[in-house]
Structure 1
Amino acid sequence: MSDQIKHECGVAFIRLLKPLSYYQQKYGTALYGLNKLYLLMEKQHNRGQDGAGVATIKLDIEPGKRYISRHRSMASNAVADIFEYIQKKFAEVQKEAPEKLTDAVWLKENMSFTGEVLLGHLRYGTHGKNKIESCHPFLRQNNWKTRNLVIAGNFNMTNVDELLQQLYDLGQHPKEKADTVTVLEKMGHFLDTENQNLFDHFKSEGNDDNIEISKLIADNINVQRVLRRSARDWDGGYTIAGIMGHGDAFVMRDPSGIRPAFYYYNDEIVVAASERPAIQTAFNIQLEDIKEIDPGHALIVKKNGKVSVDMFSEPKEKKSCSFERIYFSRGSDASIYRERKQLGRLLCDQILKCVDHDVHNTVFSYIPNTAEVAFYGMVEGVHKYIKKYQRDKLLNRADKITDEELTEVLKLAPRVEKIAIKDVKLRTFITQDADRSEMVAHVYDTTYGLIKKDKDMLVVLDDSIVRGTTLKQSILKILDRLGPKKIVVVSSAPQIRYPDCYGIDMSRMGEFVAFEAAISLLKEAGKEDVILKVYQQCKDSAKLPKEEVVNYVKAIYEPFTDQQISDRIAKIITPKETNAKVEVIYQTLDNLHVACPGHTGDWYFSGNYPTPGGNKVVNRAFVNWMEGKNQRAYM
């Protein structure tokens, strides 16, 4: 992606179903769980580079001994930093008494992070609050073991104000206005309620032994009920993993399946993660053995090791995030790899039409590195066109083809080159805007001598175009120096028109070049009244319950075709004094759904939000833009 955006977070969960001594005997280490958690997190490091955290819980620890361990980091390589911190503890033992490292019982009793339940998190901050307190896992502590709660998640809630008010109404006083706080405290409240109800129940049966009652509570907590009550009023996209102090654990997924969640279990381990290949690689598991947590369901692991997948909220129409397939998730997932190639293939007709089917004088390239797989698919599509062209040329001639003509037809092939090269070492650290723009212009370098000046056309594939800033300030400038007569910028994603409110850092209307293009066209056509009408409708909708709100911002785009907006985008992103003609091609929504049929969440393209809160967010984002407020439209 030429315009980098922060996105998504990643979760990693492991429950060991055997004693630590089992793993010591079978795998040669009692730290099997920690090693696997490290792998799970490293294989998902693409999901968060603003921080990371780890928490573990030991089962059946006697009172007075520490059973919860947590460490968080905001280091540049946070995952490695966390595990180096943990490793130092064991390195000291290795130095002083190495035999203790093979004593699983001693390790559990004396060393932190040797629990049977492990939870890891990778964080991408979506609105600049990069501080250690913002890093997951979050911990709600209590002297009653069954009231302790650790959570970590990939989520954003759109209705934080509403959820906060509910906490106020309960008599609570949350310390911060954030969805992480509201989620933790809401779950904590219903966990407390579950504890109290069970306590009262066992007391009413005549049991006066509080130690025995505590054990009975641990055995009988209904995790499904706690989750159902907690999530009743949530509006957002989420995968949330949690551990209760006594050892019950869960991984829950929102009713629309917006955020991803996968799991696997056998008689040794239960594992869950945000991405399937992480589980495959860390545990050497076949793809078909890994399952997806269904929308509105939770993977629940009781302290006694019982595993179930239970519904906590009525599933809605599945709207899994399509951006996961286009860009966010690693392309090593087999299905994602195929889908990205298909996205490239489906663009071929538009591309070939744009270059007048002149493959001989067209060079095909891509913006590194995430567009690479879609590029392979696009090249395969061009190869398919060339084979058809060759077949038609050879079979449909009335006269005999000459050797020279035959040679010319058969040597036709796509001219595939790596034109743009990203200089990963270059950092735009200068603070003055003018100087930063100058530095941005040099983030990419180029390969010279491959383009025939004023004769060749150059097609460059990007996986998505958000702001168009890097294209304008850097990429198009360096490509134009090569002398092509036309530059065709191709996006494997459709036009990004609307903000996201479920975990991606795209929350401000003014950030989208497609929105800038539509506003420009409205003003040029003398239709400022459309802008003012939408503004008033959006302001009025703020007073309505979220269930009654519609997306009024769609009216901004309605007067224009996709092509008109693409043409205006091309004009906006073309730097001054560019010699080549610049055109922009976007994936169509229909083809997106053909390529990614299982992930139809497309609200940032279509404006069709899967939850009522999404419509409130997009309208608020438009109001913020109109009023010059540079802030995101949800907490």
Structure 2
Amino acid sequence: MCGIVGVIARTPVNQLIYDALLLLQHRGQDAAGIVTMQGTKCFMHKARGMVRDVFRTRNMRGLPGNVGLGQVRYPTAGNAYSEEEAQPFYVNAPFGIVLVHNGNLTNAPVLKAELFEIDRRHINTESDTEVLINILAHELEKAARNLPLTPAEIFRAVGAVHRRLKGSYAVVALIAGHGLLAFRDPHGIRPLSMGAGPDGEVMLASESVAIEGSGFKVQRDIAPGEAVFIDEQGTVHTHQCAATPTLHPCIFEFVYLARPDSVMDGISVYQARLNLGETLAQRLISTMPPSDVDVVIPIPESSRPSAMQLAHKIGKPYREGFVKNRYVGRTFIMPGQAVRKKSVRQKLNAIGVEFKGRNVLLVDDSIVRGTTSKEIVQMAREAGANKVYMASAAPPVRFPNVYGIDMPTKEELIAHGRSIEEIRQFIGADALIYQDVDAMKRVIGALNPKISSFEASCFDGHYITGDVSAGDFAAMEAQRKLQFDEEDENNRSRLALQSASEDRT
């Protein structure tokens, strides 16, 4: 899960892209990057860190041009600590292409070998985005060989890209001297929306909130398999480039990833979470007497709509029992379990008066690894709660995700191979209530009848691209171990530097 944006306008776009990335910061906090284009020359700045820290006035001044794109990164493939793997990525042939990508390619190792052995292209990082941009470059070169680069050739190249790639991908790219290209995978797993500005500007972004918050009007979602090309004159060309496109948006976007004020594939994220709260209330009523609950308390932020609706449904007061430190990143998307665990108490503080002597029902959007839930249950007890019940607006996360969410190995998932009772004991709650998988799909899907099914593999184990094997999971687990080893090395290095600094003082 990353946040991407692209803009083509008649005036400089650097500030527009910066502001849009701030609105997408929740989708990635590891790194940020912007590239702009003036004529056929690209100007780029990217680095690890939050948007506000990566870009200073001097950096913004170095990003001229009326067309550009940007990304906030949340690493699910490659090296979380490498600045080289921050996006955008650039290749100089053909034409000069710059690209940002949200998603995860499931056949990246095969493609990497093909690029080297057949396409004669070298890949220098572990990022699947570098694989993707080289595939696109190769197919554009083939499609436009001895021909002018017209929208028809671009769409032919995107069609070839669709035939080669597997997995999830929402892409925005700049083609030097030609314009802005965007496309979405044939299953529509990762989101991508398009909007228009008052003076004919066009913006593409991962979420509608980035478009609306930038003063643009949301027009529509990019369809699965569709490509959109905006030429330098601002003319929009569109074409369906996939042979058999089907819409299977990632259901975890509605559960947790997206901002509640976004609309994705015709579904209000806020309304989806209200609906989840209603079905969760029904689940609770069938599990335990609502009279056992004195107060309903959400775990900020994503669970608030579900918690409010649940409290209303069971007739119990809704209270804010935790204060969130907004200057600590989203725990779920922090790289590394050690950093994630340490951040929980820095991120949340309990309001004792809401807990003391009460039976509290804590509502979270989901329970992934269980470590955060365990810490929060303990915080509630320390604040004086009589009993602590936990409810998850999402079903148990039992399977790895391969489409761009940081759930790559089953060993990290608290629900994999454990019963609800075993999970309850691990997190230390007096009762644990989970959402039902079918109910989740039904109440979110009801908001847009055109969606026949969702990508919900982390809940149901069904991988819609049909190319995921046990060997893929083994490879992901090996890569994860290397990432953790690198994280430990980085932590040791930081501690050594801190110790040396303290010794000098």
TM-score (norm 1): 0.67
Comparing 316-325 with 162-171, greater Cα deviation is found at: 162-171
The 1-side partners of 2:152 and 2:426 are apart by 58
Higher alpha-carbon Rg: 1
Aligned partners of 1:155 and 1:503 also within 8 Å? yes
Aligned partners of 2:311 and 2:317 also within 8 Å? no
Q: Does 1:630 align with 2:485?
A: no
Per-residue deviation, 1:516 = 4.4
DSSP-derived class of the 1:197 partner: coil
DSSP-derived class of the 1:283 partner: coil
C-alpha RMSD of the superposition: 3.0
Q: Does 1:593 align with 2:441?
A: yes
Alignment match, 1:448 = 352
Per-residue deviation, 1:630 = 3.1
Aligned partners of 1:164 and 1:177 also within 8 Å? no
DSSP-derived class of the 1:11 partner: strand
Alignment match, 1:571 = 425
1:121 counterpart (59, 63, 71): 71
Alignment match, 2:280 = 347
For residues 289-343 of structure 1, give each alpha carbon's deviation from its aligned partner in whole angstroms, at most 9, with x where no partner exists: 5200000101111234321221111244321011111111111126111111111
User: One-letter code of the match for 1:139?
Assistant: Y
Aligned partners of 1:218 and 1:246 also within 8 Å? no
1:51 counterpart (12, 24, 31): 31
Aligned partners of 1:467 and 1:512 also within 8 Å? yes
Q: Does 1:247 align with 2:182?
A: no
Aligned partners of 1:12 and 1:120 also within 8 Å? yes
The 2-side partners of 1:182 and 1:623 are apart by 17
User: One-letter code of the match for 1:297?
Assistant: E
1:464 counterpart (354, 363, 366): 366
The 2-side partners of 1:362 and 1:310 are apart by 55
User: One-letter code of the match for 1:445?
Assistant: N
Q: Does 1:492 align with 2:393?
A: yes
The 1-side partners of 2:430 and 2:64 are apart by 58
User: One-letter code of the match for 1:352?
Assistant: I
Unaligned runs of 5+ in 1: 1-7, 21-30, 62-66, 90-111, 199-216, 384-413, 518-564, 575-580
The 1-side partners of 2:16 and 2:152 are apart by 28
Alignment match, 1:256 = 187
Q: How do 1:114-153 and structure 2 match up within 5 A?
A: 114-126=64-76, 128-142=79-93, 147-153=95-101
Looking at secondary structure, tell me which structure has more strand per residue: 2
The 1-side partners of 2:118 and 2:72 are apart by 33
Aligned partners of 1:508 and 1:631 also within 8 Å? no
Aligned partners of 1:58 and 1:247 also within 8 Å? no
1:197 counterpart (126, 142, 146): 146
Per-residue deviation, 1:439 = 8.4
The 2-side partners of 1:219 and 1:416 are apart by 57
For residues 520-573 of structure 1, give each alpha carbon's deviation from its aligned partner in whole angstroms, at most 9, with x where no partner exists: xxxxxxxxxxxxxxxxxxxxxxxxxxxxxxxxxxxxxxxxxxxxx212211222
Looking at secondary structure, tell me which structure has more helix per residue: 1
The 2-side partners of 1:81 and 1:350 are apart by 45
Q: Identity across aligned pairs (percent)?
A: 25
The 2-side partners of 1:236 and 1:299 are apart by 20
Per-residue deviation, 1:277 = 1.4
Unaligned runs of 5+ in 2: 332-336, 446-450, 484-505
Alignment match, 2:43 = 69
Change (3 A) 1:590 1:631: farther
For residues 210-234 of structure 1, give each alpha carbon's deviation from its aligned partner in whole angstroms, at most 9, with x where no partner exists: xxxxxxx245771101111223121
TM-score (norm 2): 0.84
Per-residue deviation, 1:70 = 1.2
Per-residue deviation, 1:153 = 1.0
Per-residue deviation, 1:353 = 3.9
Change (3 A) 1:337 1:42: same
Change (3 A) 1:176 1:37: closer
The 2-side partners of 1:153 and 1:116 are apart by 21
Per-residue deviation, 1:158 = 0.7
Alignment match, 1:547 = none
Q: How do 1:163-562 and structure 2 match up within 5 A?
A: 163-167=111-115, 168-198=117-147, 217-218=148-149, 222-265=153-196, 268-285=200-217, 289-333=218-262, 335-358=268-291, 362-383=294-315, 414-422=316-324, 444-451=348-355, 453=357, 456-472=358-374, 474-482=375-383, 484-517=385-418
2:15 counterpart (8, 13, 35): 35
DSSP-derived class of the 1:280 partner: helix
Aligned partners of 1:235 and 1:612 also within 8 Å? no
Per-residue deviation, 1:373 = 1.8
Per-residue deviation, 1:481 = 3.4
Alignment match, 1:606 = 460
Alignment match, 1:9 = 2
Per-residue deviation, 1:280 = 1.1
